[in-house]
Structure 1
Amino acid sequence: MPGRREIKRRQTRLALITAALRLADERGVDRVTTEEISAAAEVSPRTFFNYFATKEHALVGDPLEDCPAPVLKPLPLLDALLDALAPAFEQIQGDRDLWLLRMRVISANPQLLPLLIAAAASAEQRLAQAIADQTGLAPDHPRPQVAAAVANAAVRVAVVRWAESGDSRPLIEHVREAFHHLKEVDDSRRT
């Protein structure tokens, strides 16, 4: 259970992200300053920079920073990945409005795409490292890297479908569906 200081840190970080996204959605990224984001989040600009290097990092950053590193159980790899990443999907589901806002801001401001790609690549590397650790493979072995990339692609498709669907199905169901299709591709090569 996180202590009071950690809870306050998370609340401040979320307030900054939310303020940045709302202001960027209203005005466009180029028309928002870190001072305005700080004021909207009721913190000082210095506090802003304790959390983020730039306003773009507040908009994209690593939205799953507070999620624990995935721990894979001894299951088939896709099942283990789904199980290990479930807390992240629950967090995204719980923050649905914020995620939809983030996706809208990024879509309207393509200059954020390089930062988004960098954040996704960093998350993918962490996942590949977890796969290597759990499977006993060397960190430079291609299997963990390929598995992480394929899982990342499936999750990306699931998140987009979840955001665009407007249905009430939780994100985890969209991810399960995407992983099911990965299994079908794997199974089809055997027949």
Structure 2
Amino acid sequence: MAPADEARASGQPGLRERKKKQTRVALSQAAIRLCVLHGWADVTIERIAAEAGVSVRTFRNYFSGKAEAIAAGHVERMLRVADDLLARPVGEPLWDSLRHAVLSQFATSDNSAPQDQRWREGVRLMLAEPALAGQIVKANAAAQEGLAKAVAQRTGTDAEHDVYPKLVAAVVAAGSAVAVEHALRADASAPLGAILARVFEQIAAGLPVP
């Protein structure tokens, strides 16, 4: 059996699919990095493509514009959270698994980008860009759908007909967003990973009144 056939038989993506995903991720990361560091108005599709080492035509094969490219980063990260959730030990409590899965993806940003005032301000400005709002809404919906499927598989529920996996996915998305927003504050003293851990500890405890 050829390697591509073996990949299809095992349910794993083939080489072509992996390369396409790598290109998609590279373009999204380049768009985010450039817009944060240089500002929304000064970043063109041509510049993003060059940063990622591909042609403008290749960019347009994946995204309609820089807003979609930036929003795609959120979807990809939440899909990795879903994959990490399914890889956690079967007997581990669900919210412990979710905390580990979220931290493994979101907290890595502590080491992949300069966490100084300029970077935080750049992220805040980028996320406040009106042109990005619609794509963020679409990205959140896609991210929650992917995570709900993983929660359903983990809990033996139905992602289409049961409310539970959808509710859990929505809570995870909201908790992560609150942690990121808090970490981006000018007076933030704790790294994103620490804030995420605190958020998910409170969620797992049932959000007791302080």
User: For 1:2-151, what aligned pairs fall within 5 Å after superposition?
Assistant: 10=22, 13-14=25-26, 17-19=29-31, 21-22=33-34, 26=38, 28-29=40-41, 32-63=43-74, 65=76, 67=80, 69=83, 70-71=85-86, 72=88, 73-97=90-114, 100=120, 101-107=122-128, 109-139=129-159, 140-151=161-172
| Offset from partner CA, 1:73-131 (integer Å, 9 cap, x none) | 43333212112223212333333449844443121x12211211211221111111111
**AA of the residue aligned to 2:149:** Q
Q: Distance in 2 between matches of 1:16 and 1:180?
A: 30
Query: Percent identical across equivalent pairs?
Result: 27
Q: CA deviation at 1:59?
A: 2.5
Counterpart contact for 1:25–1:104, Cα < 8 Å: no
| Offset from partner CA, 1:45-70 (integer Å, 9 cap, x none) | 11222442322122222346263623
* Runs of 5+ unmatched residues, structure 2: 1-14
| Offset from partner CA, 1:117-167 (integer Å, 9 cap, x none) | 211221111111111101111222111111111121111111111222442
The answer to which of 42-51 and 94-103 deviates more is: 94-103
**1:154 paired residue number:** 175
* Runs of 5+ unmatched residues, structure 1: none
**1:179 paired residue number:** 200
Shift in CA distance, 166/131, structure 1 to aligned 2, threshold 3 Å = same
TM-score (norm 1): 0.74
TM-score (norm 2): 0.69
Counterpart contact for 1:64–1:88, Cα < 8 Å: no
RMSD of aligned Cα (Å) = 3.4
